[in-house]
Amino acid sequence: MQLEGRTCLVTGGAGRIGRATARLFLEHGARVMLVDLKAADLERACAGLDPERTAWAEADVTNAASVRRAVEATVDRWGRIDVLFSNAGNFGVVRPISDYPDEVFDAVYAVHVKGAYLLCKHAVPHMNDGGSIVINSSVAGTRGDPGVYAYITAKHAQVGLMRCLAKELAPRRIRANTIHPGPIDNGFQLAVEQDLGNIIGRDGTEFFNQIIPLGRHGSPDEIARSVLYLASSQSSFTTGAMLMVDGGMSA
């Protein structure tokens, strides 16, 4: 029970990694607010979860007023917040630099960079001292790949945000870390692999399996367990860190 009585807010909570993390947090005694774009997806994500300790708020993380409302809903329901998991994500497209669509670049930055920034901006004043912020970056936050301009640069930018937070919030013992999943066996990654496959002219899934030393994709549950580690006091002396959960892909 590593999060007994802790209040946690998870963005992208209706997505695959968000749902797996919310379930694990609940198993460890937490109260969880799931935040995502669509009420119907959130309702589905909450089905079967303990209604006393699970709630959802529809919000677009790129919109300040919307993020503020989700934070207020969490505070109204359970009081101060202990854990933020900034996890909402989109991918954009893979294109050569000269063809990269500006509007896609902006839309990907809006979710990963501005979204994580807005969440922290509006939630940190409501966090308990000793809390934990986990930002879901990616192995893409540590390497370059041809054509992945929006996603890869946004995932690097999240590391800069995390490092500023770690230093500013250390006096309150609020820790901030990024997690860096490698390719996960889910629809988000499959879409990436299909797009990349068209550019490199070979099977995208095979391409990734060959560059992952453990030779396979990860699962949302494997990511959830690492998020739990950073969210809980198991990692009490870890802040400003990048935790790779990528099967060795960045080694």
Residues catalogued as catalytic = 151
- Three-state SS for 23-64 is HHHHHCCCEEEEEECCHHHHHHHHCCCCCCCEEEEECCCCCH
Binding mask 21-60 for ligand NAD (x = CB under 6 A): ---------------xx----------------------x
**Using rule CB under 6 A, residue 207 touches ligand NAD:** no
Q: Least Å distance between CB 138 and ligand NAD? A: 4
Instruction: Give the three-class secondary structure for 180.
Output: strand
CA-nearest of 55, 2, 66 to 32 is 55
State in angstroms the smallest separation of the CB of 245 from ligand NAD.
Answer: 9
Which listed residue (7, 54, 74, 87) binds ligand NAD by CB under 6 A?
87
Question: What are the structure tokens assigned to 130, written together?
Answer: 């000793």
Q: Point out the residue whose Cβ comes nearest to ligand NAD.
A: 15
d(CA 201, CA 138): 24
**Least distance to ligand NAD from the beta carbon of 171, Å?**
28
10, 24, 30, 61: which one contacts ligand NAD (CB under 6 A)?
Answer: 61
* Least distance between ligand NAD and beta carbon 78 (Å): 20
Residue in 10, 14, 113, 150 binding ligand NAD, rule: CB under 6 A: 14
Q: Which of 8, 15, 30, 229 binds ligand NAD (CB under 6 A)?
A: 15
Which lies closer to ligand NAD via its Cβ, residue 113 or residue 128?
Answer: 113
Residue with tokens 């899934």: 205
Centre a 10 Å sphere on the Cβ of residue 103 and count the other Cβ atoms it contains.
8
Residues 130-189 that bind ligand NAD (CB under 6 A): 136, 138, 181, 183-184, 186, 188-189
DSSP output for 122-170: HHGGGEEEEEEEEEE--GGGS---TT-HHHHHHHHHHHHHHHHHHHHHG
β-strand partners of 84: 9, 133
Contact 67, 122 (CB under 8 A): yes
Which positions lie near ligand NAD, rule CB under 6 A?
A: 11-12, 14-18, 36-37, 60-62, 87-90, 111, 115, 136, 138, 181, 183-184, 186, 188-189
